[in-house]
């Protein structure tokens, strides 16, 4: 069923840009939110909100509906930044969801919650967390919040551990981790439409030939990604060097995040 209201945080970001203007079949009103105003079309409107400000997040979610929570720090960063955007930001999102009567949240989790698993290990929804960064740990915290608000308050969440959602895969690792924008739109459609969501973990990747993630435990969602990174293999391999198999960034699923500098509490 079509929803009356869909709120999208992080609407000015990379994923926000790729899905804006393509969801009007899903909801009567779509509220696009980010730190600054976002350009709108059709049934979209823009409302600015700093996720670190609970009152602002409550104002954003007033009226309830469903939320696509894409807003926040999307890469490794000093703790202060992760703290405000992702820890306080996700807490505010779930607390405002409870107070304002939100039904469902798509939580943009990340493959970096499991980034220190070797690439030869096929993971599923029950595999242990092995975050590869402070950023990855912040997504572990977000998934924890989602479970708490589901078990205690009945708010349903899709914990979408996104691989690499970009227009095209740009390196050899992304031939396994790529999630096409269209497969993201299908996942959002299922998130909204499925009669009973619960709080499942789903790995966000297309139907790639190279695959490290088994989504069979969430077949009930009916999400069947259609695209494949394989069509870009020739282009990607021609443009990139063959990496050393001994490089930890090649050995582990999280790629460059596993070898990235630990930013600690550095000043921004
Ligand atoms: P992005 O960095 O392009 O967009 C994030 C947006 O959040 C930005 O527009 C930024 O202004 C906004 N934001 C940051 N701090 C905020 C705050 N305090 N209050 C309000 N807005 C704030 O990231 P992208 O690629 O669009 O990803 C969206 C979400 O999906 C992020 O949560 C990211 O962690 C997650 N994700 C993305 C992946 C990808 O491949 N693009 C892979 C895995 C996870
Ligand atoms: C992420 O979590 C990031 O948000 C995105 O920018 C990519 O780095 C992606 O993971 C990835 O692992 O490719």
**Could you please report the per-residue DSSP string of 214-244?**
--GGGGGG-------GGGGHHHHHHHSPPPP
In a domain, 15, yes or no: yes
- Is the predicted pLDDT of residue 112 greater than 90, yes or no? yes
- Is the predicted pLDDT of residue 109 greater than 90, yes or no? yes
In a domain, 242, yes or no: yes
CB 178 within 8 A of CB 229: yes
Q: How far is the CA of 74 from the centre of ligand 2 (A)?
A: 7
In a domain, 173, yes or no: yes
Which ligand sits closest to the CA of 34?
1
Q: How far is the CA of 158 from the centre of ligand 2 (A)?
A: 18
Mind telling me the catalytic residues?
Answer: 135
For residue 112, the SS3 value is: helix
CA distance 16 to 32: 9
In a domain, 81, yes or no: yes
Ligand 1 interacting residues, C-beta cut-off 6 A = 10, 12-16, 34-35, 49-52, 70-74, 84-85, 89, 108, 110, 162, 164-166
Give me the CATH number covering residue 62: 3.40.50.720
DSSP annotation of 66 reads: E
In a domain, 266, yes or no: no
Domain count, the chain: 1
- Is the predicted pLDDT of residue 165 greater than 70, yes or no? yes
The count of other CB atoms within 10 Å of the CB of residue 238 is 7
User: Which residue range forms the structural domain that includes residue 139?
Assistant: 3-258
User: In Å, how far from its chain's centre is CA 21?
Assistant: 19
In a domain, 263, yes or no: no
CB 169 within 8 A of CB 232: yes
Of the candidates 116, 35, 117, which has an alpha carbon nearest to the alpha carbon of residue 81? 35
CA distance 61 to 16: 18
What are 252-261's pLDDT values in tens digits? 999 999 999 9
ipTM of model: 0.99
For residue 2, what pLDDT is reported? Answer: 84
Test site for ligand 2: of 132, 162, 173, most ligand atoms within 8 A of the Cβ: 162
Residue nearest to atom 3 of ligand 1 (CA): 13
In a domain, 268, yes or no: no
In a domain, 265, yes or no: no
Per the prediction, the chain carries an average pLDDT of 97
């Amino acid at each position: 069923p079509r929803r009356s209201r869909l709120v999208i945080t992080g609407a000015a970001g990379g994923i926000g840009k790729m899905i804006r203007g393509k969801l009007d079949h899903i909801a009567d009103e779509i509220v696009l939110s980010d730190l600054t105003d976002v350009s709108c079309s059709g049934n979209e409107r823009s409302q600015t909100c700093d996720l670190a400000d609970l009152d602002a997040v409550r104002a954003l979610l007033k009226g309830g509906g469903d939320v696509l929570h894409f807003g926040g720090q999307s890469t490794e960063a000093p703790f202060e930044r992760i703290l405000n955007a992702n820890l306080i930001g996700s807490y505010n999102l779930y607390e405002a969801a409870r107070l304002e009567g939100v039904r469902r949240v798509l939580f943009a989790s990340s493959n970096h919650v499991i980034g220190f698993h070797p690439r030869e290990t096929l993971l599923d929804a029950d595999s242990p967390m092995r975050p590869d960064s402070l950023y990855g740990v912040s997504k572990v915290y977000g998934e924890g919040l989602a479970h708490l608000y589901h078990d205690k308050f009945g708010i349903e969440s899709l914990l979408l551990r996104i691989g690499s959602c970009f227009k095209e895969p740009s390196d050899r690792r992304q031939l396994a981790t790529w999630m096409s924008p269209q497969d993201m739109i299908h996942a959002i459609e299922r998130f909204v439409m499925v009669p009973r969501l619960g709080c499942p973990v789903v790995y966000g990747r297309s139907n790639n030939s190279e695959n490290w993630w088994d989504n069979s435990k969430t077949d009930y969602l009916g999400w069947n990604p259609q695209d494949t990174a394989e069509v870009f293999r020739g282009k990607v391999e021609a443009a990139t060097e063959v990496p050393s198999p001994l490089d930890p960034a090649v050995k582990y699923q999280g790629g460059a995040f596993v070898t990235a500098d630990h930013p600690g509490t550095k000043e921004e």
